Structure 1
Protein backbone atom coordinates (compact mmCIF):
# COMPACT_ATOMS: atom_id res chain seq x y z
CA UNK A 1 0.00 0.00 0.00
CA UNK A 2 2.66 2.55 0.99
CA UNK A 3 4.70 1.77 -2.13
CA UNK A 4 1.78 2.36 -4.49
CA UNK A 5 0.64 5.42 -2.55
CA UNK A 6 4.13 6.81 -3.03
CA UNK A 7 3.85 6.38 -6.80
CA UNK A 8 0.66 8.40 -6.82
CA UNK A 9 2.30 11.13 -4.77
CA UNK A 10 5.17 11.44 -7.24
CA UNK A 11 3.45 10.76 -10.55
CA UNK A 12 0.29 12.31 -11.97
CA UNK A 13 -0.14 11.17 -15.60
CA UNK A 14 -1.47 13.94 -17.82
CA UNK A 15 -3.52 13.64 -20.98
CA UNK A 16 -3.25 17.22 -22.29
CA UNK A 17 -4.90 16.62 -25.65
CA UNK A 18 -8.28 16.85 -23.94
CA UNK A 19 -7.78 20.62 -24.22
CA UNK A 20 -7.76 20.26 -27.98
CA UNK A 21 -11.10 18.49 -28.24
CA UNK A 22 -13.62 20.36 -30.34
CA UNK A 23 -16.95 21.78 -29.29
CA UNK A 24 -19.55 19.11 -28.45
CA UNK A 25 -16.89 16.70 -27.15
CA UNK A 26 -16.26 16.46 -23.40
CA UNK A 27 -13.55 14.65 -21.45
CA UNK A 28 -13.58 14.37 -17.67
CA UNK A 29 -11.54 12.49 -15.09
CA UNK A 30 -13.00 11.56 -11.71
CA UNK A 31 -11.41 9.99 -8.67
CA UNK A 32 -12.13 6.49 -7.40
CA UNK A 33 -12.91 5.82 -3.74
CA UNK A 34 -10.11 6.88 -1.38
CA UNK A 35 -9.12 3.27 -0.70
CA UNK A 36 -8.58 2.70 -4.42
CA UNK A 37 -6.55 5.82 -5.15
CA UNK A 38 -3.10 4.26 -4.49
CA UNK A 39 -3.93 1.83 -7.30
CA UNK A 40 -6.26 3.55 -9.75
CA UNK A 41 -5.29 7.03 -10.89
CA UNK A 42 -8.75 7.93 -12.19
CA UNK A 43 -11.88 6.90 -13.99
CA UNK A 44 -12.60 8.89 -17.15
CA UNK A 45 -15.27 9.58 -19.72
CA UNK A 46 -14.91 10.87 -23.28
CA UNK A 47 -18.22 11.59 -24.97
CA UNK A 48 -20.05 13.70 -27.52
CA UNK A 49 -22.75 16.03 -26.30
CA UNK A 50 -24.18 16.27 -29.81
CA UNK A 51 -23.61 14.25 -32.95
CA UNK A 52 -20.61 15.53 -34.87
CA UNK A 53 -20.52 16.23 -38.60
CA UNK A 54 -17.90 13.55 -39.16
CA UNK A 55 -15.43 11.18 -37.53
CA UNK A 56 -13.44 12.48 -34.56
CA UNK A 57 -9.67 12.01 -34.27
CA UNK A 58 -8.57 11.62 -30.65
CA UNK A 59 -4.92 11.53 -29.64
CA UNK A 60 -3.63 9.83 -26.48
CA UNK A 61 -0.12 10.72 -25.32
CA UNK A 62 2.34 8.42 -23.54
CA UNK A 63 1.55 8.40 -19.82
CA UNK A 64 3.11 5.18 -18.45
CA UNK A 65 -0.26 3.66 -17.52
CA UNK A 66 -2.52 0.79 -18.54
CA UNK A 67 -6.22 1.50 -19.16
CA UNK A 68 -9.41 -0.50 -19.37
CA UNK A 69 -11.95 1.15 -21.68
CA UNK A 70 -15.23 0.54 -23.47
CA UNK A 71 -18.07 2.27 -25.27
CA UNK A 72 -20.94 2.74 -22.83
CA UNK A 73 -23.40 2.10 -25.68
CA UNK A 74 -21.76 -1.28 -26.32
CA UNK A 75 -20.09 -2.48 -23.10
CA UNK A 76 -19.78 -6.06 -24.35
CA UNK A 77 -16.85 -4.85 -26.44
CA UNK A 78 -14.31 -3.84 -23.81
CA UNK A 79 -10.59 -3.39 -24.20
CA UNK A 80 -7.25 -2.93 -22.49
CA UNK A 81 -4.67 -0.41 -23.70
CA UNK A 82 -1.13 -1.16 -22.55
CA UNK A 83 1.92 0.98 -21.87
CA UNK A 84 2.74 2.94 -25.03
CA UNK A 85 6.14 4.34 -25.98
CA UNK A 86 4.57 6.80 -28.42
CA UNK A 87 1.31 8.68 -28.87
CA UNK A 88 -1.71 6.81 -30.25
CA UNK A 89 -4.39 8.29 -32.47
CA UNK A 90 -7.93 6.89 -32.58
CA UNK A 91 -10.59 7.70 -35.17
CA UNK A 92 -13.98 7.69 -33.45
CA UNK A 93 -17.49 7.71 -34.86
CA UNK A 94 -19.54 10.99 -34.92
CA UNK A 95 -21.26 9.85 -31.70
CA UNK A 96 -19.47 8.11 -28.83
CA UNK A 97 -19.44 7.67 -25.08
CA UNK A 98 -16.24 6.02 -23.88
CA UNK A 99 -15.56 5.18 -20.26
CA UNK A 100 -12.27 4.00 -18.80
CA UNK A 101 -10.16 3.08 -15.79
CA UNK A 102 -6.55 4.32 -15.66
CA UNK A 103 -4.30 2.19 -13.45
CA UNK A 104 -1.14 3.60 -11.95
CA UNK A 105 2.13 1.97 -13.12
CA UNK A 106 2.58 -1.70 -12.01
CA UNK A 107 -0.99 -2.05 -10.71
CA UNK A 108 -2.77 -3.81 -13.59
CA UNK A 109 -0.19 -6.66 -13.63
CA UNK A 110 -0.28 -6.84 -9.82
CA UNK A 111 -4.05 -7.19 -9.67
CA UNK A 112 -4.69 -9.37 -12.71
CA UNK A 113 -1.38 -11.30 -12.88
CA UNK A 114 -0.90 -10.31 -16.52
CA UNK A 115 2.53 -9.71 -18.03
CA UNK A 116 2.44 -6.02 -18.98
CA UNK A 117 4.80 -6.59 -21.92
CA UNK A 118 2.05 -8.61 -23.61
CA UNK A 119 -0.08 -5.45 -23.66
CA UNK A 120 2.57 -2.89 -24.59
CA UNK A 121 1.82 -0.64 -27.56
CA UNK A 122 -1.38 -2.59 -28.15
CA UNK A 123 -5.14 -2.16 -27.90
CA UNK A 124 -6.65 -5.58 -27.20
CA UNK A 125 -9.84 -7.32 -26.10
CA UNK A 126 -10.05 -7.33 -22.31
CA UNK A 127 -11.74 -10.75 -22.42
CA UNK A 128 -8.51 -12.32 -23.68
CA UNK A 129 -6.64 -11.25 -20.54
CA UNK A 130 -9.16 -10.68 -17.74
CA UNK A 131 -12.40 -12.47 -18.71
CA UNK A 132 -14.07 -12.00 -15.33
CA UNK A 133 -13.70 -8.20 -15.47
CA UNK A 134 -14.80 -8.20 -19.10
CA UNK A 135 -17.98 -10.06 -18.16
CA UNK A 136 -18.63 -7.69 -15.26
CA UNK A 137 -18.45 -4.67 -17.57
CA UNK A 138 -20.66 -6.32 -20.18
CA UNK A 139 -23.39 -7.16 -17.67
CA UNK A 140 -23.36 -4.07 -15.41
CA UNK A 141 -22.94 -1.07 -17.69
CA UNK A 142 -25.41 0.59 -20.05
CA UNK A 143 -25.85 4.02 -21.75
CA UNK A 144 -28.25 5.48 -19.16
CA UNK A 145 -25.70 5.45 -16.34
CA UNK A 146 -24.53 8.82 -15.05
CA UNK A 147 -21.09 9.64 -13.65
CA UNK A 148 -22.03 8.87 -10.05
CA UNK A 149 -23.46 5.49 -11.00
CA UNK A 150 -20.42 4.62 -13.12
CA UNK A 151 -18.11 5.53 -10.24
CA UNK A 152 -20.18 3.51 -7.77
CA UNK A 153 -20.06 0.37 -9.94
CA UNK A 154 -16.32 0.69 -10.50
CA UNK A 155 -15.65 1.38 -6.82
CA UNK A 156 -17.63 -1.62 -5.64
CA UNK A 157 -16.08 -3.97 -8.17
CA UNK A 158 -12.45 -2.93 -7.76
CA UNK A 159 -12.69 -2.79 -3.97
CA UNK A 160 -13.78 -6.42 -4.04
CA UNK A 161 -10.99 -7.31 -6.48
CA UNK A 162 -8.37 -5.64 -4.29
CA UNK A 163 -9.66 -7.41 -1.20
CA UNK A 164 -8.79 -10.69 -2.91
CA UNK A 165 -5.47 -9.58 -4.42
CA UNK A 166 -2.11 -10.73 -3.10
CA UNK A 167 0.49 -8.14 -4.10
CA UNK A 168 4.10 -8.92 -4.85
CA UNK A 169 5.77 -5.73 -3.65
CA UNK A 170 9.31 -6.35 -4.83
CA UNK A 171 11.29 -3.61 -3.13
CA UNK A 172 13.91 -3.69 -5.88
CA UNK A 173 11.31 -2.74 -8.49
CA UNK A 174 9.60 -0.09 -6.40
CA UNK A 175 12.86 1.45 -5.18
CA UNK A 176 13.92 1.77 -8.82
CA UNK A 177 10.60 3.40 -9.73
CA UNK A 178 10.93 5.71 -6.73
CA UNK A 179 14.41 6.79 -7.85
CA UNK A 180 13.20 7.46 -11.40
CA UNK A 181 10.20 9.49 -10.24
CA UNK A 182 12.16 11.53 -7.70
CA UNK A 183 14.67 12.41 -10.43
CA UNK A 184 11.86 13.32 -12.85
CA UNK A 185 13.15 10.69 -15.27
CA UNK A 186 16.42 12.57 -15.74
CA UNK A 187 19.08 10.01 -14.82
CA UNK A 188 21.38 7.30 -16.12
CA UNK A 189 19.67 4.01 -15.39
CA UNK A 190 22.87 1.96 -15.26
CA UNK A 191 24.70 4.39 -12.98
CA UNK A 192 21.99 6.06 -10.90
CA UNK A 193 19.59 3.19 -10.21
CA UNK A 194 21.28 0.77 -7.80
CA UNK A 195 18.79 -1.59 -6.19
CA UNK A 196 21.02 -4.62 -5.69
CA UNK A 197 20.27 -6.52 -8.90
CA UNK A 198 21.74 -6.54 -12.39
CA UNK A 199 20.42 -4.30 -15.14
CA UNK A 200 19.13 -7.40 -16.89
CA UNK A 201 17.12 -8.50 -13.84
CA UNK A 202 15.75 -4.98 -13.39
CA UNK A 203 14.71 -4.86 -17.01
CA UNK A 204 12.79 -8.13 -16.57
CA UNK A 205 10.89 -6.67 -13.62
CA UNK A 206 10.03 -3.54 -15.57
CA UNK A 207 8.96 -5.55 -18.61
CA UNK A 208 6.53 -7.59 -16.50
CA UNK A 209 5.10 -4.85 -14.25
CA UNK A 210 5.46 -1.71 -16.41
CA UNK A 211 5.53 -3.08 -19.94
CA UNK A 212 8.87 -1.72 -21.14
CA UNK A 213 12.43 -1.07 -20.02
CA UNK A 214 13.49 1.23 -17.15
CA UNK A 215 15.01 3.58 -19.75
CA UNK A 216 11.77 3.89 -21.72
CA UNK A 217 9.75 4.39 -18.53
CA UNK A 218 12.20 7.13 -17.49
CA UNK A 219 11.72 8.89 -20.82
CA UNK A 220 7.94 8.82 -20.36
CA UNK A 221 8.31 10.21 -16.82
CA UNK A 222 10.59 12.92 -18.20
CA UNK A 223 8.02 13.74 -20.89
CA UNK A 224 5.17 13.82 -18.39
CA UNK A 225 7.10 16.27 -16.24
CA UNK A 226 7.48 18.55 -19.25
CA UNK A 227 3.70 18.55 -19.61
CA UNK A 228 3.29 19.25 -15.91
CA UNK A 229 5.69 22.21 -16.13
CA UNK A 230 3.60 23.81 -18.92
CA UNK A 231 6.54 25.67 -20.47
CA UNK A 232 5.81 28.96 -22.19
CA UNK A 233 6.31 29.51 -25.88
CA UNK A 234 8.98 32.05 -24.96
CA UNK A 235 11.02 29.57 -22.90
CA UNK A 236 10.89 27.10 -25.77
CA UNK A 237 11.92 29.81 -28.21
CA UNK A 238 14.94 30.65 -26.08
CA UNK A 239 15.99 26.99 -26.15
CA UNK A 240 16.25 26.75 -22.36
CA UNK A 241 13.81 23.99 -21.58
CA UNK A 242 15.64 21.04 -23.06
CA UNK A 243 18.75 21.84 -21.01
CA UNK A 244 16.76 21.97 -17.78
CA UNK A 245 15.25 18.52 -18.32
CA UNK A 246 18.46 16.72 -19.17
CA UNK A 247 18.78 17.08 -22.94
CA UNK A 248 21.99 18.42 -24.45
CA UNK A 249 20.69 18.52 -27.98
CA UNK A 250 17.54 20.39 -28.99
CA UNK A 251 16.81 18.19 -32.00
CA UNK A 252 16.85 15.07 -29.79
CA UNK A 253 14.47 16.75 -27.35
CA UNK A 254 12.06 17.71 -30.14
CA UNK A 255 12.21 14.21 -31.64
CA UNK A 256 11.41 12.52 -28.31
CA UNK A 257 8.63 14.98 -27.51
CA UNK A 258 7.01 14.53 -30.92
CA UNK A 259 7.20 10.76 -30.51
CA UNK A 260 5.32 10.91 -27.18
CA UNK A 261 2.90 13.72 -28.06
CA UNK A 262 2.45 13.66 -31.82
CA UNK A 263 3.44 17.30 -32.44
CA UNK A 264 6.47 19.47 -31.69
CA UNK A 265 6.77 21.30 -28.32
CA UNK A 266 6.08 24.65 -30.01
CA UNK A 267 2.79 23.38 -31.39
CA UNK A 268 1.84 21.65 -28.15
CA UNK A 269 2.36 24.77 -26.03
CA UNK A 270 1.48 27.44 -28.60
CA UNK A 271 -1.24 28.84 -26.36
CA UNK A 272 1.10 29.53 -23.42
Structure 2
Protein backbone atom coordinates (compact mmCIF):
# COMPACT_ATOMS: atom_id res chain seq x y z
CA UNK A 1 0.00 0.00 0.00
CA UNK A 2 2.75 2.46 0.84
CA UNK A 3 3.93 2.42 -2.79
CA UNK A 4 0.53 3.76 -3.85
CA UNK A 5 -0.37 5.97 -0.89
CA UNK A 6 1.86 8.59 0.69
CA UNK A 7 -0.16 10.73 3.12
CA UNK A 8 0.91 14.38 3.23
CA UNK A 9 0.46 16.90 6.03
CA UNK A 10 0.93 20.70 5.74
CA UNK A 11 4.55 21.78 5.81
CA UNK A 12 5.98 23.38 8.94
CA UNK A 13 8.25 26.38 8.34
CA UNK A 14 10.47 26.86 11.42
CA UNK A 15 11.07 30.57 10.84
CA UNK A 16 7.39 31.32 10.41
CA UNK A 17 5.83 28.75 12.75
CA UNK A 18 8.56 28.58 15.41
CA UNK A 19 8.15 24.81 15.37
CA UNK A 20 9.70 21.82 13.64
CA UNK A 21 8.30 18.62 12.18
CA UNK A 22 10.19 15.47 11.16
CA UNK A 23 9.28 11.99 9.96
CA UNK A 24 11.22 8.74 10.11
CA UNK A 25 10.54 5.39 8.48
CA UNK A 26 9.86 2.30 10.58
CA UNK A 27 11.86 -0.90 10.30
CA UNK A 28 11.22 -3.15 7.30
CA UNK A 29 8.88 -5.65 9.05
CA UNK A 30 6.61 -2.79 10.12
CA UNK A 31 6.37 -1.03 6.76
CA UNK A 32 3.12 -2.77 5.70
CA UNK A 33 1.49 -1.32 8.83
CA UNK A 34 3.29 1.86 9.93
CA UNK A 35 3.74 4.70 7.46
CA UNK A 36 6.10 6.70 9.65
CA UNK A 37 7.03 7.94 13.09
CA UNK A 38 6.84 11.70 13.51
CA UNK A 39 7.94 14.43 15.89
CA UNK A 40 6.36 17.86 16.26
CA UNK A 41 8.19 20.18 18.63
CA UNK A 42 8.32 23.88 19.46
CA UNK A 43 11.47 25.91 18.97
CA UNK A 44 12.93 27.76 21.98
CA UNK A 45 11.91 31.06 20.38
CA UNK A 46 8.18 30.24 20.40
CA UNK A 47 6.52 33.39 21.67
CA UNK A 48 2.82 32.61 21.25
CA UNK A 49 0.50 29.57 21.17
CA UNK A 50 0.88 27.41 18.08
CA UNK A 51 -2.12 25.94 16.26
CA UNK A 52 -1.28 22.73 14.41
CA UNK A 53 -3.62 21.81 11.57
CA UNK A 54 -3.98 18.12 10.71
CA UNK A 55 -5.58 17.52 7.31
CA UNK A 56 -7.57 14.46 6.28
CA UNK A 57 -5.12 11.72 5.30
CA UNK A 58 -6.95 8.39 5.72
CA UNK A 59 -4.68 7.20 8.55
CA UNK A 60 -4.95 6.43 12.26
CA UNK A 61 -2.28 7.97 14.53
CA UNK A 62 -1.04 7.37 18.04
CA UNK A 63 0.60 10.36 19.73
CA UNK A 64 1.89 11.57 23.08
CA UNK A 65 3.76 14.45 24.69
CA UNK A 66 7.21 13.24 25.74
CA UNK A 67 6.79 14.92 29.12
CA UNK A 68 3.55 12.99 29.68
CA UNK A 69 3.98 9.60 27.99
CA UNK A 70 1.27 8.12 30.19
CA UNK A 71 -1.27 10.36 28.39
CA UNK A 72 -1.27 8.68 24.98
CA UNK A 73 -4.00 9.27 22.43
CA UNK A 74 -5.28 7.61 19.28
CA UNK A 75 -6.74 9.73 16.48
CA UNK A 76 -9.04 8.01 14.03
CA UNK A 77 -9.90 8.48 10.38
CA UNK A 78 -10.81 12.12 9.72
CA UNK A 79 -13.31 13.34 7.16
CA UNK A 80 -12.21 16.92 7.74
CA UNK A 81 -9.29 18.89 9.12
CA UNK A 82 -8.56 19.16 12.86
CA UNK A 83 -6.84 22.01 14.68
CA UNK A 84 -4.80 21.49 17.86
CA UNK A 85 -3.92 24.62 19.90
CA UNK A 86 -0.59 23.73 21.53
CA UNK A 87 0.94 25.29 24.61
CA UNK A 88 4.55 26.33 24.87
CA UNK A 89 6.71 24.30 25.03
CA UNK A 90 5.57 21.11 23.29
CA UNK A 91 7.22 17.97 22.00
CA UNK A 92 4.93 15.35 20.47
CA UNK A 93 5.86 11.95 19.10
CA UNK A 94 3.46 10.02 16.87
CA UNK A 95 3.01 6.74 15.05
CA UNK A 96 1.07 7.02 11.78
CA UNK A 97 -0.53 3.73 10.76
CA UNK A 98 -1.44 3.06 7.15
CA UNK A 99 -5.16 2.70 6.35
CA UNK A 100 -6.68 -0.49 7.85
CA UNK A 101 -3.47 -1.38 9.74
CA UNK A 102 -4.46 -0.34 13.28
CA UNK A 103 -7.79 -2.24 13.27
CA UNK A 104 -6.05 -5.27 11.72
CA UNK A 105 -3.43 -5.37 14.47
CA UNK A 106 -5.55 -4.49 17.49
CA UNK A 107 -9.10 -5.50 16.44
CA UNK A 108 -10.45 -2.01 17.06
CA UNK A 109 -13.53 -0.88 15.14
CA UNK A 110 -12.18 2.11 13.20
CA UNK A 111 -15.65 3.66 12.93
CA UNK A 112 -15.66 4.16 16.72
CA UNK A 113 -12.73 6.57 16.29
CA UNK A 114 -13.81 8.46 13.19
CA UNK A 115 -13.48 12.26 13.50
CA UNK A 116 -12.29 12.02 17.12
CA UNK A 117 -9.32 11.23 19.28
CA UNK A 118 -9.48 9.17 22.45
CA UNK A 119 -7.12 8.20 25.28
CA UNK A 120 -5.29 5.10 24.10
CA UNK A 121 -5.77 3.36 27.45
CA UNK A 122 -9.55 3.48 26.83
CA UNK A 123 -9.16 1.86 23.39
CA UNK A 124 -6.24 -0.59 23.68
CA UNK A 125 -5.18 -0.60 27.37
CA UNK A 126 -2.35 -3.12 26.97
CA UNK A 127 -0.79 -1.12 24.13
CA UNK A 128 -1.03 2.10 26.13
CA UNK A 129 0.67 0.67 29.22
CA UNK A 130 3.33 -1.14 27.23
CA UNK A 131 4.24 1.87 25.11
CA UNK A 132 4.31 4.17 28.12
CA UNK A 133 6.83 1.97 29.88
CA UNK A 134 9.26 1.79 26.95
CA UNK A 135 9.18 5.45 25.85
CA UNK A 136 9.35 7.10 29.28
CA UNK A 137 12.33 9.44 29.59
CA UNK A 138 13.02 9.64 25.84
CA UNK A 139 12.47 12.90 23.98
CA UNK A 140 14.04 12.73 20.50
CA UNK A 141 12.78 10.87 17.43
CA UNK A 142 16.27 9.42 16.88
CA UNK A 143 16.08 7.80 20.34
CA UNK A 144 12.45 6.77 20.14
CA UNK A 145 12.40 5.31 16.63
CA UNK A 146 14.41 2.12 17.44
CA UNK A 147 12.48 1.69 20.69
CA UNK A 148 9.16 1.91 18.86
CA UNK A 149 10.48 -0.45 16.18
CA UNK A 150 11.42 -3.06 18.74
CA UNK A 151 8.19 -2.80 20.72
CA UNK A 152 5.85 -2.86 17.71
CA UNK A 153 7.81 -5.66 16.04
CA UNK A 154 7.38 -7.75 19.19
CA UNK A 155 3.63 -7.13 19.07
CA UNK A 156 3.54 -8.03 15.38
CA UNK A 157 5.30 -11.34 16.10
CA UNK A 158 2.60 -12.22 18.63
CA UNK A 159 -0.33 -11.46 16.33
CA UNK A 160 -1.76 -12.69 13.09
CA UNK A 161 -3.11 -9.52 11.47
CA UNK A 162 -6.43 -10.25 9.82
CA UNK A 163 -7.67 -8.06 6.99
CA UNK A 164 -10.36 -9.29 4.62
CA UNK A 165 -8.90 -9.85 1.14
CA UNK A 166 -11.99 -8.29 -0.43
CA UNK A 167 -11.26 -5.08 1.44
CA UNK A 168 -7.63 -5.17 0.33
CA UNK A 169 -8.72 -5.59 -3.27
CA UNK A 170 -11.11 -2.63 -2.98
CA UNK A 171 -8.37 -0.48 -1.42
CA UNK A 172 -6.02 -1.45 -4.23
CA UNK A 173 -8.57 -0.38 -6.86
CA UNK A 174 -9.18 2.97 -5.14
CA UNK A 175 -5.49 3.71 -4.67
CA UNK A 176 -4.55 2.76 -8.23
CA UNK A 177 -7.26 5.13 -9.46
CA UNK A 178 -6.09 7.91 -7.14
CA UNK A 179 -9.56 7.96 -5.60
CA UNK A 180 -11.00 8.95 -8.96
CA UNK A 181 -13.42 6.18 -9.88
CA UNK A 182 -17.12 5.50 -10.17
CA UNK A 183 -17.77 3.26 -7.21
CA UNK A 184 -20.87 1.53 -8.57
CA UNK A 185 -19.14 0.64 -11.82
CA UNK A 186 -15.45 0.36 -10.99
CA UNK A 187 -15.34 -0.97 -7.43
CA UNK A 188 -15.94 -4.66 -8.11
CA UNK A 189 -14.42 -6.40 -5.10
CA UNK A 190 -16.44 -9.63 -5.09
CA UNK A 191 -18.66 -8.45 -2.26
CA UNK A 192 -22.04 -6.72 -2.04
CA UNK A 193 -22.10 -2.95 -1.47
CA UNK A 194 -23.56 -3.47 2.00
CA UNK A 195 -20.84 -5.93 3.00
CA UNK A 196 -18.16 -3.67 1.57
CA UNK A 197 -19.54 -0.75 3.58
CA UNK A 198 -19.27 -2.87 6.74
CA UNK A 199 -15.67 -3.78 5.93
CA UNK A 200 -14.76 -0.13 5.33
CA UNK A 201 -16.51 0.95 8.52
CA UNK A 202 -14.51 -1.54 10.61
CA UNK A 203 -11.08 -1.25 8.98
CA UNK A 204 -11.06 2.31 7.60
CA UNK A 205 -13.67 4.17 9.62
CA UNK A 206 -15.99 5.42 6.89
CA UNK A 207 -17.49 4.56 3.50
CA UNK A 208 -15.61 3.68 0.30
CA UNK A 209 -16.88 6.99 -1.13
CA UNK A 210 -15.45 9.06 1.73
CA UNK A 211 -12.14 7.18 1.67
CA UNK A 212 -11.92 7.80 -2.09
CA UNK A 213 -12.43 11.53 -1.50
CA UNK A 214 -9.55 11.57 0.98
CA UNK A 215 -7.31 9.63 -1.43
CA UNK A 216 -8.15 12.08 -4.23
CA UNK A 217 -7.42 15.04 -1.95
CA UNK A 218 -4.12 13.52 -0.82
CA UNK A 219 -3.18 12.69 -4.41
CA UNK A 220 -3.59 16.36 -5.28
CA UNK A 221 -1.48 17.49 -2.30
CA UNK A 222 1.24 15.04 -3.26
CA UNK A 223 1.71 16.76 -6.62
CA UNK A 224 2.59 19.98 -4.72
CA UNK A 225 0.46 22.26 -6.90
CA UNK A 226 0.43 26.04 -6.63
CA UNK A 227 -2.67 28.18 -6.50
CA UNK A 228 -1.72 29.66 -9.90
CA UNK A 229 -1.17 26.26 -11.51
CA UNK A 230 -4.56 25.07 -10.30
CA UNK A 231 -6.26 28.12 -11.80
CA UNK A 232 -4.34 28.04 -15.07
CA UNK A 233 -4.00 24.30 -15.64
CA UNK A 234 -7.28 23.19 -14.11
CA UNK A 235 -5.42 20.43 -12.30
CA UNK A 236 -8.52 19.75 -10.24
CA UNK A 237 -10.22 18.30 -13.34
CA UNK A 238 -7.42 15.75 -13.70
CA UNK A 239 -7.88 14.82 -10.05
CA UNK A 240 -11.55 14.04 -10.65
CA UNK A 241 -13.31 17.16 -9.38
CA UNK A 242 -16.14 18.05 -11.73
CA UNK A 243 -15.83 21.84 -11.38
CA UNK A 244 -13.90 24.52 -9.51
CA UNK A 245 -16.61 25.13 -6.90
CA UNK A 246 -16.71 21.42 -6.05
CA UNK A 247 -12.94 21.33 -5.73
CA UNK A 248 -12.71 24.43 -3.51
CA UNK A 249 -15.48 23.23 -1.20
CA UNK A 250 -13.96 19.78 -0.74
CA UNK A 251 -10.43 21.14 -0.35
CA UNK A 252 -11.54 23.60 2.34
CA UNK A 253 -13.40 20.85 4.20
CA UNK A 254 -10.34 18.61 4.34
CA UNK A 255 -7.62 21.25 4.68
CA UNK A 256 -9.34 24.02 6.63
CA UNK A 257 -8.31 26.76 4.21
CA UNK A 258 -9.19 27.55 0.59
CA UNK A 259 -6.51 26.48 -1.90
CA UNK A 260 -5.65 30.10 -2.73
CA UNK A 261 -4.42 30.54 0.86
CA UNK A 262 -3.19 27.03 1.64
CA UNK A 263 -1.07 26.55 -1.49
CA UNK A 264 2.02 28.60 -2.38
**Same fold by TM-score, threshold 0.5 exceeded?**
yes
Q: How does 1:131-210 map to 2 (within 5 A)?
A: 131-210=125-204
Please report how far the alpha carbon of residue 102 of structure 1 lies from its aligned counterpart in structure 2 after TM superposition. Answer: 0.2
Structure 1 residue runs of 5 or longer lacking an equivalent are: 1-6
Please report how far the alpha carbon of residue 188 of structure 1 lies from its aligned counterpart in structure 2 after TM superposition. Answer: 1.2
Structure 2 residue runs of 5 or longer lacking an equivalent are: none
Alignment partner for residue 30 of structure 1, among 5, 20, 24?
24
Please report how far the alpha carbon of residue 215 of structure 1 lies from its aligned counterpart in structure 2 after TM superposition. Answer: 0.3
Q: How does 1:1-272 map to 2 (within 5 A)?
A: 7-19=1-13, 22-50=16-44, 52-238=46-232, 240-269=234-263, 271=264
Whether contact under 8 Å (1:75, 1:142) holds in the other structure is: yes
Whether contact under 8 Å (2:13, 2:19) holds in the other structure is: no
Question: Aligned pairs, how many?
Answer: 264
Q: 1:123 to 1:18 in 2, by over 3 A?
A: same
Quick one: distance in 1 between partners of 2:132 and 2:227?
Answer: 45
TM-score under structure 1 length normalisation:
0.93
Q: 1:149 to 1:109 in 2, by over 3 A?
A: same
Whether contact under 8 Å (1:17, 1:59) holds in the other structure is: no
Quick one: distance in 2 between partners of 1:236 and 1:10?
Answer: 23
Q: In terms of mean alpha carbon deviation, does 144-153 or 53-62 score higher? A: 144-153
TM-score under structure 2 length normalisation:
0.96
Quick one: distance in 2 between partners of 1:213 and 1:190?
Answer: 13
Q: 1:23 to 1:246 in 2, by over 3 A?
A: closer
Whether contact under 8 Å (1:109, 1:116) holds in the other structure is: yes
